[in-house]
A = this chain, B = another copy of it.
Amino acid sequence: MAGDETRIPRDPADDATADAAAARREFATRRTGASLRHVGSFSLDPATTPGNVEHFIGAAQVPIGLAGPLLVDGEHAKGEFYVPMATTEGTLVASYNRGMKLVRAAGGVKTTVVDDGMQRAPAFIFDDARAARAFGEWLDVHIEEIRAAAEATTSVGRLERIERYPAGPAVFTRFVFTTGDAAGQNMTGKATAAACAWIHESYPGAAIRRFYLESNMATDKKHSQVNTLRTRGKRVVAEVMLPSALVESQMRTTTREMFGARLISNLGGLMAGSVNNGAHSANAIAAIFIATGQDVANVAESQSALVYGELRENGDYTYSITIPSLIVATYGGGTGLATQRECLELLDCYGPGKVRKLAEIIAATVLCGELSLGAAVVANEWVSSHDRLGRNRP
């Protein structure tokens, strides 16, 4: 297709340079008439982009607002943090900030990573279910050899287990790894491929009729019940105890009102078929993911959330949110890019050994936003039934 005028310019020799980017912008402008002046105004070094993007033309500038201080009582994140949130949605940062203020007055958010795992999900298809079952049993017997083959590809990843979900003539599996401070999708992909290569070479039983390295059970970049149940990435819990007096003074509502709204959200979510009985975890997750160089497509699965609250007899509201599939990294991927690294450093979360700290900060931020929006919905009722409507509805 040489000489094709529709083809985006690419010179492999110097593809990741300012000049190559400029050439592509010129090409795009020529083809579409659109100016790309701002897209071309970036401070990041194009030489750092291979591995992050192809056909680089410049950078999106996404406004960052700073929320905080966020007081975290984590095992990895301890103390006050200022959270960079990249967003274009007005009131988002203000709302999280409001929640952070409330939570700080309540003594901070307790955060705990309770599980950790990253998966690839190959499927093996046989002539019939019996052959599939025999294969599944063989996997159990040979787990150590499979593990060795997988872990030979990585200095960090560890194959924890192989889950099996048999159906028809197939064995759907989930290869579950821990992946250190990387999100680990690539690491586990490579390790699982190596494990499957060993399996193909070594399996003495009936022919593996078909094989797919991925079978839609991972479920990478998709929401699913299996990941809510079995964890993908970090499973993080954020908890707070809200005294009723504090809610009344800061949020213009009561813990009893907030808890009442929670019961309706539980029921609405159940009917709606949403595996998220919270309000808007995706807002915090997307904003921090963009700011800190995470894979933003993982918002799809990371948004799942399980809210659990108890209203104590004295009016105290113990509130928790569990994010069962928070996929984060502090090295690799986009974490080393210019602004992304700065934002991670702002949280002291750049580099190895920091990933659970980042997970805790994100979960704590999510919790603040849930309380802020939750209280606003309830107080809005107050406003509408009392002030605006000018009469008292119980």
Contact = CB atoms under 8 A, between A and B. Distances in A.
A234 to B, nearest CB: 12
A286 B210 CA distance: 32
Interface string A331-347: 00110011110110111
A22 B64 CA distance: 12
Given A61-B61, A166-B115, A296-B286, A264 B123 contact: yes
A59 interface: yes
A253 to B, nearest CB: 12
Nearest to A200: B389
Given A166-B115, A272-B226, A299-B300, A290 B322 contact: no
A190 B126 CA distance: 39
Nearest to A333: B88
B274 A219 contact: yes
Contact of A276 (B166, B223, B290): B223
The interface centre, meaning the residue of A28, A169, A207, A263 with most chain B CB atoms within 10 A of its CB, is A263
A210 B264 CA distance: 10
Contacts of A172: 267-268, 271
B212 A50 contact: no
Interface in A31-59: 31-39, 41-44, 49-59
A306 to B, nearest CB: 5
Contacts of A133: 112, 114
A35 B345 contact: yes
12 contacts: A6-B80, A8-B97, A37-B342, A39-B342, A55-B67, A56-B63, A112-B129, A210-B264, A222-B303, A225-B229, A229-B229, A229-B271
